[in-house]
Amino acid sequence: MTLTSSANRSSSVIRASVSRARACAADHVSRAVTAPIRHPVSPVGRRGAQTGRDLAIVPTRFSEPTNLPSQPLFTDRFVAVAWRSNAEVSDPLTWDEFHKLPYLSYRLGSVPSMVDALLEELGHGRQLDAVVEGFVVGALLIRGTRQITFLQERLAQTLRGVGELRLLVPPLDIPPLVETMVWHPRADHDPAHRWLRDHVAAVASQL
């Protein structure tokens, strides 16, 4: 079985836990492997049968349109982030500061991030000065620059020391990020898959 997940700190913790647990599990689950997700919808949906991916951890906005079996795992919120020595930002971050400073954002393929989509809806869409695929990479690129970005609070707190990050209240209300476990219907009653789902849910409950 293959578990794919979005590239954030909490999902990485879950992948690592599954990788450790499979070494102690019975033979029928010894083939469970983990990998970061590269496409928001296809891992267990349209391409699931071809890729062999049986379980994905994705934001709810990607899982809801699929009508696949799913289970919410954990909730996080977004914060604005800048280098801690950036004297051009205040807390809360203002719209003027947001539009003045270079902006680092994220993409899963051609899909805009949840925050970027919301900014466009509110008429505050930005030219992207830098684009990365993973939130961890983005967090570590802020240091020593004038760039600002938005990160999940758990990830920002984890990396604030090594990344020299300053966490700020955003200039807009951003809906909470709900990470959801999604799987293919063929696996509903599979014992090995139930073990994997139960383990993932148990780890997520402790985040």
CATH of the domain at 69: 3.40.190.10
Domain identity same for 82 and 164: yes
- Which domain, by its residues, includes 109? 78-168
Share above pLDDT 90 across residues of the chain, in percent, rounded to a whole number: 43
Mean pLDDT of 78-99: 97
pLDDT in tens, 21-44: 555 555 444 444 444 444 444 444
Same domain, 122 and 60: no
* Same domain flag for 105 and 159: yes
Contact 194/13 with Cβ under 8 angstroms?
no
pLDDT at 35: 44
pLDDT tens digits for 96-139?
999 999 999 998 777 888 899 999 999 999 999 999 988 889 99
Inter-residue contact 178 to 70 (CB < 8 Å): no
pLDDT the model gives residue 199: 85
- Residue 200: predicted pLDDT: 87
Q: Are residues 61 and 90 in the same domain?
A: no
84 and 160 part of one domain: yes
Same domain, 19 and 100: no
Q: What phi and psi, each to the nearest 5 degrees, are found at residue 145?
A: -125, 175
Mean pLDDT of 182-207: 86
Specify the pLDDT at position 13: 55
The two beta strands, 111-112 and 177-183, are: unpaired
| CA atoms lying within 13 Å on the CB side of residue 126 | 26
Q: Within this chain, do residues 70 and 84 fall inside the same structural domain, yes or no?
A: no
Q: Is the pTM of this model over 0.75?
A: no
Q: How much is the mean pLDDT over the chain?
A: 80
Whether residue 70 sits in one domain with residue 85: no
Residues 97 and 148 in one domain: yes
Do residues 85 and 149 both lie within one domain? Answer: yes
Amino acid identity, residue 155?
L
- Asked if residue 31 and residue 70 are part of one domain, the reply reads yes
Same-domain check for residues 25 and 69: yes
Say if residue 177's pLDDT is above 50: yes
Please tell me the total count of domains within the chain: 2
